[in-house]
Chains A and B, each alone.
Chain A
Amino acid sequence: MSKGEADGALRARTGDPAVVVKSLVKEYPDVVAVNGISFTVPRGKVFAFLGPNGAGKTTTVEILECLRKPTKGEASVLGYDVRKDERRIRKVIGVLPQQFNTYERLTVKENIQYFGRMYDRALDADDLIALVGLEDKTNSLYMNLSGGQKQKLGVATALVNDPELVFLDEPTSGLDPKARRDLWQAIESLKKRGKTVFLTTHYMEEAEVLADAVGVINKGKIVAMGSPDELITRYGVASRLVVKSPSTNARQILCKFSDCTVRESNGDIEVSLSSKSVLPDIISLMDKNDITYTELLLKRSTLEDVFLNLTGEQLGRAE
């Protein structure tokens, strides 16, 4: 696949990070959607913007895509200022907008070709169809595709100009688990091709599976930033041990050992572990006190715990 020659000069600016945002503010008459956020996305990485609906994810992304003008602050994309270089930015980015939609009476291939002709140079439509795994739907009208197939076509149209940076705004929102995992594969293949991917999601698993770096955003502010592992280590509880026990003294003994919570519904005792190395100590403690158990389950902490810890709010959870 050939890279657009006309874009060659633009692509030369490899020194700049993919995205730089400084003290960005977006105010609307009734709400401050983005409230002074700063972050940097290095090239070649998958960056996930994680937060609940209305957190300011899409507003930020649409400022970077030059669809909205910032109120204050600075933002640059591949070295270009979003206020001044709209035209250049549009040539080198690919976008899957939130709730992607395209022409319902054009086929998969015709839709890709349509968007391809908007650029000076475009990748071959059949290659893109193969990349997202829609070969058997090449000549199906968009209106006859399933939700997952529509999103795959959306990803293909976002890649049609062979962009350096791809924005995927809630790519798997509303999809069933199978379709979601299918799409994750397609997104992972982008990373292998050296693309920078800017992803927004309110699904924890999505960020954990795909992202190199995660920015957690809530109410227009970034509340944490780092790799999924870093965030879990720093803000999550390392892991938790779930104990199902018929012994009446189990709760008393275990909660003396460490922080723990008891599920009222089924009597499960969840013990927070500072590290996995304390596991043998707990087991021997239970033996010593004649605590029997029907089940021991070691749960790794997730980004959901991170979000809960950071904001005190529950986040939507992927199936």
Chain B
Amino acid sequence: MRLSRIVTDVSSSLKMLWRNKGSLFWMIAFPVMLMVIFGAIFSMEGGTNLTLYIQDNDGTALSQNFTGVLNSTGAFDIHYLDTGIDLEETIQDEEIHRILIIPSNFTESLFMNGSASITLRQDPTDQTTASATSQIVRAVVYEFNKQFANSSREISVNELGIVLEQEFRYIDFFLPGVLGMTIMTSGIYGSIAVNTRYRKNGILRKVATTPMTKAEWVISKVLYQIVVAFISMTALIVVAVLAYGVEVSINPLVVLLVVTGSMTFSGIGMIVARFVKDEEAAESAGGAINFPMMFLSGIFFPLEFMPGYLQAIGKVMPLYYVGQGLRDAMINLDYEGALFSAAIVFTLAVVLIAIGAVVSSWTDE
């Protein structure tokens, strides 16, 4: 085993990657684009209207009349919440950004004391929608107060904030998934390309006449995949943080999952390339593994969205554990869950690389 040979091969491969703008695009720019596009699509609020939750604790004709007027502005999609629920919990669970609360003594207070207040609570982080909501509600209240002009009764609006804890967005779900997907794609296709193209065009034969050993060659190719995976990861994380403010944790479990994930998929690619020797046929075979795994492993949407039998298939996919492990380690900070996934991926990596290294042909016979 000679480290200098491995270093030479890995650094030369990286140099060639840099000069191959097509590969560079697929390995680095494409996953970033995919993440940005999907992140943008799924982070939009449904429709053009703002969702406004209303909890009407009064439930009189007057309060219903008031919410009816709010509804008739057409500015809001109104959702009514039951009275007597745990409001704070509901706000967190439903990720409620704006809610109007009408107190139970609303009508009584208005007629007895000549004034009543309603409470508008909003998540202030989205300033544009917050001020728009506030203006619309105040305008409705203002119009409403006009009918009481002679009786000097007045409704006032009391504004409060909402602090949403640990808001979970699609991008948080998708970032670890797209990273896992990129590791899979470049691992499988990369090792198929190396093992079929280099065998067919004679480069492998030339290398085999030098003192470089098969072990050194296999290690170099896997190491290269790992380096590429970290480059892709860096690009994805930088964009996710800058564009979406995703809070990402980089810890040893993340590193372990990226390394063992690369090894797993390189191993799969090596095995495919061994049995399907033609380059194009091997790439098709790689696609036949790559695409179902991509869609069945909870990368684009949670596994729970799929019917039970598909979930069962998803849970035997190596990519599921890479994606879920990264999600637990990077975003959820569920280290126990990440460790469980990492253990599975580690085992797969060792087994698949061993099989791949043994079966891949270095010389004829």
Contact = CB atoms under 8 A, between A and B. Distances in A.
Nearest to B206: A97
Interface string B206-235: 111111100000000000000000000000
A171 to B, nearest CB: 14
A95 B12 contact: no
A105 B209 contact: no
Interface string B1-15: 000110011001001
A-side interface size class? 20 to 34
B73 interface: no
Of B5, B210, B211, chain A has the most CB atoms within 10 Å of the CB of B210
A56 B211 CA distance: 25
Interface string B257-296: 0000000000000000000000000000000000000000
A227 B211 CA distance: 33
A35 B364 CA distance: 19
B364 A91 contact: no
Of A68, A69, A90, A157, chain B has the most CB atoms within 10 Å of the CB of A90
A118 B202 contact: no
B15 A119 contact: no
B206 to A, nearest CB: 5
B-side interface size class? 20 to 34
B165 interface: no
Contacts of B202: 97-101
Given A68-B365, A117-B4, A117-B8, A97 B205 contact: yes
A253 interface: no
A67 interface: yes
A68 B210 contact: no
A304 interface: no
Contacts of A93: 209
Interface in A79-128: 87, 90-91, 93, 95, 97-103, 105-106, 110, 114-115, 117-120
B16 interface: yes
B363 interface: yes
B364 A68 contact: yes
B200 to A, nearest CB: 9
Given A103-B16, A110-B12, A67 B206 contact: no
A118 B5 CA distance: 5
Of A97, A99, A141, chain B has the most CB atoms within 10 Å of the CB of A97
Of B4, B19, B20, B209, chain A has the most CB atoms within 10 Å of the CB of B209
A27 to B, nearest CB: 11
A65 interface: yes
Contacts of B87: none
Interface of A: 62, 65-69, 87, 90-91, 93, 95, 97-103, 105-106, 110, 114-115, 117-120, 141, 157, 161
Interface of B: 4-5, 8-9, 12, 15-16, 19-20, 201-203, 205-212, 363-365
Given A105-B16, A105-B20, A117-B4, 10 more contacts: A66-B209, A67-B364, A69-B365, A90-B211, A99-B202, A103-B12, A115-B210, A118-B8, A120-B211, A157-B206
